[in-house]
């Protein structure tokens, strides 16, 4: 017995839009470059006697993993 699954085109459009917003994995080399940039930024802050908040550290982690672009990271931090 064969079943035919019929999905309305509106639902397919919604699913495709949701899939497009998922973060795409970044290469390991990009991840390493991002980690180094974050470590340097945090070191600069510490030299000034400052430290990133837990929220900003979480944003840094998302940036390193590729969930946020550089522009998104900056905009989110500045919007705080």
* pLDDT tens readout for residues 5-18: 555 555 555 555 55
**Crossing angle (nearest 10°) for helices 28-47 and 54-65:** 160
Scored b (16 or more CB within 10 A) or e, 19-39 reads eeeeeeeeeeeeeeebeeebe
* Verdict on whether the full-model pTM lies above 0.75: no
Contact of 59 with 74, CB cutoff 8 Å: no
Q: What are the pLDDT digits (tens) for 55-74?
A: 999 999 999 999 999 999 99
How many Cβ atoms sit within 10 Å of the Cβ of residue 1? 2
Q: What are the pLDDT digits (tens) for 12-43?
A: 555 555 555 556 789 999 999 999 999 999 99
Q: What domains sit in the chain, N to C, each tagged with a CATH number?
A: 24-79 (1.10.8.1050)
């Amino acid at each position: 017995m064969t079943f035919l699954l019929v999905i309305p085109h509106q639902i397919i459009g919604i699913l495709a839009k949701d899939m497009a917003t998922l973060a795409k994995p970044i290469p390991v080399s990009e991840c390493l470059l991002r980690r180094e940039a974050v470590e340097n930024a945090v070191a600069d802050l510490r030299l000034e006697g400052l430290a990133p908040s837990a929220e900003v550290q979480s944003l840094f982690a998302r940036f390193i993993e590729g969930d946020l672009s550089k522009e998104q990271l900056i905009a989110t931090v500045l919007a705080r």
